[in-house]
Structure 1
């Protein structure tokens, strides 16, 4: 069984390059039950000494780790405590840190090394009576710096039968970057960005265009800073810690400017990738076209390991921003939803994109397609209503998209989702057809209110390409439903640091209950592969619609032995595989 000797190799200090004797192999999928440390030495040498032991980020706070007494590191613990909850960038910089902390723990058994996310300094969470357990964190990882590191990992996996996982920032709501007893490929330090005004995808004979190329570890914080410095506009996500080349873009990549500029997948021009056969490939519209199709919407972590991506860039320009606020109250929310739903189709066609967050009484939207007078007229009904309710709502010019992004991160223009806590998340894509009649909009309002009532946190993402006229997206593998939906609804429940199995099960079942209010009235719709219920019914159709059969054929072509597998990914082997033993 995977990891059956986990505690022993931590006690023995695992590798000979850490002065260890022969040790058990941690992931013998069909391999022998042990392997000599020289095998690990060889892998470490092959990857330039960048094979490391993966530890829980909070280990420094504990006195017991895997049944062994250890010495806490108080200075390191203090840093972790200060950055534990809702510090997006610092958490993403730690190999053992994940945005959704249930993927640091083993949900099924409760094995974990977690602090109290409501009060990270709470000593009860890490007192000597508390045990730090490895949970779902990969015990070993390669700090990937080039294609040869990935090729070596694939060769090692095939020879030794070790499960591979791929991680950048750990901002994955479905746990695909986390797998107990796996060898992880940590892409986080592949960071670089360059801009070309005349980029041409390799092998293509077309006119050049403005584009940025970036390494797999590059985050949206990096990209927005680069864009601001070079007066560029890039379709990007709304969390500064998310990696731009990974699951975000490969899953489709929605953005508050998608109503005007399309999805990340629409704007991606090229990928550099190592496929599971150990071949380094360039995928674009002119070579490896099938792989390029799969990588633009088919989901990360299954077709190969992306090292680099190139995306279209546009000249920076101004936007109109609507910052709509109202006193938090259910009746107020119902009134705001009524006006929002009456106008959302028109707003989408006008290029408005953004986020509605009930818990803080805020709707923030931006568009480049209207001038200030037109924007004020477009938002008049919402501004008048919320002002009458006692809110302060404005429509203003902002000089750049980056200016909005800074306000979003700072909490002055809406607020991004928190990280550093368990997030039992579900979502639903809501079609425009549900808004064509007054009866349909009333039904949707009631469905939303019921869904919100069964969620600890909720949000409406007006981030679909409904109003985008640049492409119908047929050359990507993004579920075609994205082109006819107006928004995505996100619903979240959670539990406390010392929650029991029944608490974790309740949070997930409560989230499923919440989203069912919307599933029932949106038949034939779907969910976003990156932000969906881990128990999503009919997930192949929900995530990819009619594209799934083709995606599965591409998966079989490039990974016939299923070296790469992840939860609800194309070609998923199912929940019985040992790497999924911690899901519930």
Structure 2
């Protein structure tokens, strides 16, 4: 408790005469909880409250032993997920506008708190979350809801805040015949997971039961957190729909500290919003119940295309590939692809396209080879291109995931990164000039050696068909999409504020405008993998669903206790979520 006392005393020492009711209470104000109140909160959450410091602080403090351990784990996503003083990407730990950062790579500056919460409740139960929410409401504190910290948009951290850390909610329960609360109707086999269950843990559990679920391909993404609440794309999407399409029920703590059930029969508006409306916005999810499906075999195709850099035929081949996506998708294919315009290779530079296609519940390899053959033939006819092809059957989806896509126990992370993303429609790719128009837009963007454009064939099929049978908050553009593409921009750990702002400006005002122009702004972006500085996030992330989402937000959280960057209702607050900027 020493750390708790020290932070409380700092707050008292800096106390001002009062607080602005339009802003969150800050440590230098008299409204800030005093020592005894923090102690009481700690007691109520059974000793699971801790004062939080940035994870690299020991290195700045000269603790060599601790720093050596931190250095070894710095880029390990699994380790970062367990640390309340870290998230997966360094830039969301820092507060550059106040020159506050605490990173491993630069130790010549003072270690600042940045956006890392001052306190964290390491929630082990719903009651811990309820106590934390009531405490934050009582003292008008900034709340930050954090799962694994796998967050490209900065929703998991907030300055001068109290963190609710859901990572340790690790319960898993299977049901052969799940009936949502309030109805006798069975929804069939399902799994209920605590908010802290990550994808690696989820796949292992369902695999042991001979089941599978719709989820992503990462070790440390928290399945019930921002992943599903943001929509949740998946390689199983064309087969079974979005992750948000396959949620049956949530248990969630709302802004008044009440634990409620949200499904299609109880609190259906909240249930609608939580399936795609964004994480950390409508409440704190304690658990989610997901449909499970019979395990199935799956066939993977790996098609690699390479040529010397600056071969004019490379981008034409990219257009040919995108033109083939709709027919592949119609045949049940999902997949990921990676375009590297300029990749150092030995003593030369090459341009490369690497494609992974997946055919769930399909075992006829010869049929799949025949399906891909026209594309391969077209690529082979392009001067200077070399193609490599393999089709590999897997006995189960679990064997593909554990043996190839998410093998091991970590993802590399720990950089300063922002993303730009765009959904591109099937209509575009089946049009005569559409694939070329798409590729020409990407060709205009600048890519440094090794930079990659990532494509996700995770829509179409059931994602499109579910527009007729599933009503949830995901951007309607998903139902029209053929591919979701994104790219990354980075800056160095010692980049100045001006240098960081230039990267952000170029992403927002140059690169993204080029991509938006491809379809005249009619599509959108995936909120979990998008530009963290998107000025028109309401329409880009949620399209025509935004007004309904905003209304539900005002009903369930009228005082804006749950504010997440670029989330529903965040336009009413400053970027840090500390002060209102729009009066009601």
TM-score (norm 1): 0.88
Map of 1:478 onto structure 2: 474
Asked if residue 425 in structure 1 is aligned to residue 419 in structure 2, the reply is: yes
Q: 2-side partners of 1:11 and 1:288: how far apart?
A: 37
Q: Partners in 1 of 2:380 and 2:446 — Cα distance?
A: 23
User: Distance in 2 between the 1:397 and 1:353 partners?
Assistant: 15
Q: Deviations over 1:6-31 (max 9, x none)?
A: xxx97972258xxx996657996645
Q: Post-superposition shift, 1:573?
A: 4.0
Aligned residue for 1:396, secondary structure, equals strand
Closer, same or farther: CA 310–35 of 1 in aligned 2, 3 Å: closer
Give the match for residue 320 of structure 2.
339
What CA distance in whole angstroms lies between the structure 2 residues aligned with 1:226 and 1:247? Answer: 20
Correspondence 1:152-167 to 2 at 5 A? 152-167=131-146
The reply to whether residue 83 of structure 1 matches residue 73 of structure 2 is: yes
Name the residue aligned to 2:110: 131
Deviations 1:349-393 (A, max 9, x none): 222112111236411110125431221112224444667833432
Q: Is the 8 A contact 1:182 1:579 kept in 2?
A: no
Aligned-residue offset at 1:130: 3.4
Partners of 1:543 and 1:161 in 2: how far apart?
Answer: 28
Offset, 1:235: 0.5
Alpha-carbon deviation of 1:145?
1.6
184-193 or 152-161, which deviates more: 152-161
Task: Give the equivalent residue in structure 2 for 1:515.
Answer: 512
Task: Please name the residue that 1:442 is paired with.
Answer: 436
Once structures 1 and 2 are overlaid, which stretch shifts more, 25-34 or 142-151? 25-34
CA deviation vs aligned residue, 1:503-541 (integer Å, no higher than 9, x gap): 211222232322222100122111111121123242212
Deviation at 1:98, TM superposition (A): 1.3
Instruction: Identify if the C-alpha distance between structure 1 residues 393 and 76 changes in structure 2 by more than 3 Å, giving closer, same or farther.
Output: farther
Residues 190 and 290 in structure 2, CA contact (< 8 A), matched pair in contact too: yes
Does the CA contact (< 8 Å) of 1:325 and 1:363 recur in 2? yes
Of 229-238 and 531-540, deviating more is: 531-540
CA positional deviation for 1:271: 0.2
Deviation of 1:151 (Å): 1.9
Contact 1:430–1:488 under 8 Å retained in 2? yes
Find the aligned partners of 2:244 and 2:15 in 1 and give their Cα distance: 39
* CA–CA distance in structure 2, aligned partners of residues 334 and 578 of structure 1: 41
Measure the CA separation in 2 of the matches of 1:420 and 1:542. 27
8 Å contact kept, 1:322–1:394: yes
- Whether 1:309 aligns to 2:291 is no
Name the counterpart of 1:60. Answer: 58
The answer to whether the Cα contact below 8 Å between 1:297 and 1:476 also exists between their aligned partners in 2 is yes
1:119 is matched with: none
8 A Cα contact 1:166 1:301, kept in partner: yes
User: CA, structure 1 residues 93+387, in 2 after alignment: closer, same or farther (shift >3 Å)?
Assistant: farther
| Pair 330,219 (structure 1): closer, same or farther in 2 beyond 3 Å | farther
Distance 1:159 1:355, change over 3 A: same
Partner of 2:195: 216
TM-align CA RMSD: 2.6
Contact 1:23 1:36 in 2 (8 A): no
Quick check: 1:350 aligned with 2:342?
no
Determine if contact 1:466/1:485 at 8 Å carries over to the other structure.
no
TM alignment of 1:154-553, pairs within 5 A: 154-327=133-306, 329-331=309-311, 333-359=314-340, 361-368=353-360, 370=362, 371-384=364-377, 389-406=385-402, 407-410=404-407, 418-451=412-445, 453=447, 456-468=451-463, 471-472=466-467, 474-512=470-508, 513-523=510-520, 524-553=522-551
For the Cα contact (< 8 Å) 1:291–1:554, is it kept in 2? yes
The answer (yes or no) to whether the contact 2:92–2:157 under 8 Å persists in 1 is yes
Structure 2 residue runs without a partner (length 5+): 341-351, 580-584
Query: After alignment, is 531-540 or 486-495 more displaced?
Result: 531-540
Distance in 1, matches of 2:314 and 2:295, equals 34
Give 3-state SS (helix, strand or coil) of 2:421's partner.
strand
Question: CA separation in 1, counterparts of 2:314 and 2:573?
Answer: 39
2:343 is aligned to none
CA distance in 1, matches of 2:563, 2:11: 32
- Tell me the equivalent position of 2:344: none
Contact 2:5 2:35 in 1 (8 A): no
**Structure 1 residues 578 and 93, CA gap change in structure 2 (3 angstroms):** closer
Instruction: Report the alpha carbon displacement of residue 557 of structure 1 after superposing the two structures with TM.
Output: 1.1
Deviations 1:168-206 (A, max 9, x none): 111111100100110000000001212111111111121
Distance (Å, rounded) in 2 between the aligned partners of 1:343 and 1:369: 21
Given that residues 493 and 510 in structure 1 are in contact (C-alpha distance below 8 angstroms), is that contact kept between their aligned partners in structure 2?
A: no
Match of 1:120 in 2: none
Matched position secondary structure for 1:490 = strand
Paired residues of 1:491 and 1:511 also in contact (CA < 8 A): no
Q: Which residue pairs with 2:86 in the alignment?
A: 97
Contact 2:245 2:470 (8 Å CA) reproduced: no
Matches within 5 A, 1:132-147: 132-147=111-126
Give the superposition deviation at 1:408. Answer: 2.2
Please give the secondary structure, in 2, of the residue aligned with 1:433: helix
> Helix, strand or coil: the match of 1:108?
helix
Separation (CA, whole Å) in 2 of partners of 1:45 and 1:277: 20
Superposed CA offset, 1:272-327 (max 9, x none): 00110221100111111111001111111111010000000011111110112233
Contact 1:136–1:178 (8 Å) recurs in 2: yes
Question: Which range is displaced more, 290-299 or 362-371?
Answer: 362-371
**Preserved CA contact (<8 Å) 2:322 2:429:** yes
CA distance in 2, matches of 1:21, 1:558: 31
CA distance in 2, matches of 1:430, 1:454: 24
> Matched residue pairs, number?
547
The answer to whether the 8 Å contact 1:452/1:491 transfers is no
